[in-house]
Amino acid sequence: MGMRADFHGLLECNLNKKESGQLSKGTLMKNELLSNLNQLHTTELGVARIKRNLSLDTDDVVGWCKDKISSADAVIIRNGKNWYVNIDDCIITVNAHSYTIITAHKSKS
């Protein structure tokens, strides 16, 4: 099972837990990622990978990701060492300790 399928399964499970009031503390901690957006960064290879994967026409990939992550429509989930942000048909993966944007790709519909 790939990361995309894992994300969608995790998202569905957590949304069901949220609706039933059984959501665990560490699962949807949006505030931790949102309060550390100033630490968000990526590598040169990360910029190239994200631009290629999302067909972006911007040199400010980090700024683009910050805008997406801070959107009210973003679904943010922490699973292990990474944050997964689902917004506008894409998934952004961020390391939870270093706040490095690892990758971003289009989500499968």
DSSP 61-94: HHHHHHHHHTSTT-EEEEETTEEEEEETTEEEEE
Looking up tokens 């837990």 gives 17
Expressed as residue numbers, the domain containing 49 is 3-106
What pLDDT score was predicted for residue 11?
54
User: How confident is the model at residue 21, as a pLDDT?
Assistant: 47
Write the DSSP assignment of 3-72 as a string of letters.
HHHHHHHHHHHHHHHHHHT---TTT--HHHHHTTGGG-B--HHHHHHHHHHHT---S-HHHHHHHHHTST
> 14-64 pLDDT, tens per residue?
444 444 444 444 444 568 999 999 999 999 999 999 999 999 999 999 999
Quote the number of domains for the chain: 1
- Over the stretch 54-64, which tens digit does the pLDDT of each residue have? 999 999 999 99
Of 103, 66, 63, 69, whose CA–CA distance to 88 is shortest? 69
Position 108 confidence tier, pLDDT thresholds 50, 70, 90? confident
In the 8-state DSSP scheme, what is residue 100? B
The C-alpha angle 91, 92, 96, rounded to 5 degrees, equals 130
